[in-house]
Structure 1
Amino acid sequence: MNSDTAWIMSSRSTGNGGSCVEARRSSGVIEVRNSKSPDAGTVRFTTEEWDSFLDGAKKGEFDKLLIG
């Protein structure tokens, strides 16, 4: 299914001074942007790339990038 969606804001982004990540499905790809600068552009992922990213995030593969 490739139907377009509205922008979805990460629930982890709310309440932190407006630094928000948003994502949507558009024209068969996943787009990600910074809600503070929505006109600055988007990063695009194929659905396969997005699925791989989410799988890695769920497995903690990116945890070493966290500060703190």
Structure 2
Amino acid sequence: MTVHPRGWRKSSRSGRVSNCVEVGRVGDGAAVRDTKNRELGYVAATRQQWTAFLDAVKNNRFE
């Protein structure tokens, strides 16, 4: 069985710009896709992976 992400949304900081990413729900985790190339699919993460990613972003660990 294939689970499809639902509730896609993009950051409110993106404004009217179309070159950003969208995040959707998949199971108890998240999926991410490119708004310009939605047909290419998405990358999915478990809840634990997504939480670790958000924590890293919030703590500037990608600079």
TM-score bucket (shorter structure):
0.7 to 0.9
**Inter-partner Cα distance in structure 2 for 1:20 and 1:60:** 19
TM-score, scaled to structure 2: 0.78
TM-score, scaled to structure 1: 0.73
Q: Match of 1:26?
A: 26
Q: Runs of 5+ in structure 1 lacking a partner?
A: none
Asked if structure 2 preserves the Cα contact closer than 8 Å seen for 1:20 and 1:34, the reply is yes
Runs of 4+ in 1 over 3 A off after TM superposition: none
**Inter-partner Cα distance in structure 2 for 1:40 and 1:14:** 23
**Inter-partner Cα distance in structure 1 for 2:25 and 2:34:** 15
Q: Runs of 5+ in structure 2 lacking a partner?
A: none
Q: Match of 1:42?
A: 42
Aligned length: 59
Please give the root-mean-square deviation of Cα atoms over the aligned residues, in Å.
1.6
Bigger fraction of residues in strand: 2
**Inter-partner Cα distance in structure 2 for 1:12 and 1:21:** 11
Asked if structure 1 preserves the Cα contact closer than 8 Å seen for 2:8 and 2:23, the reply is yes
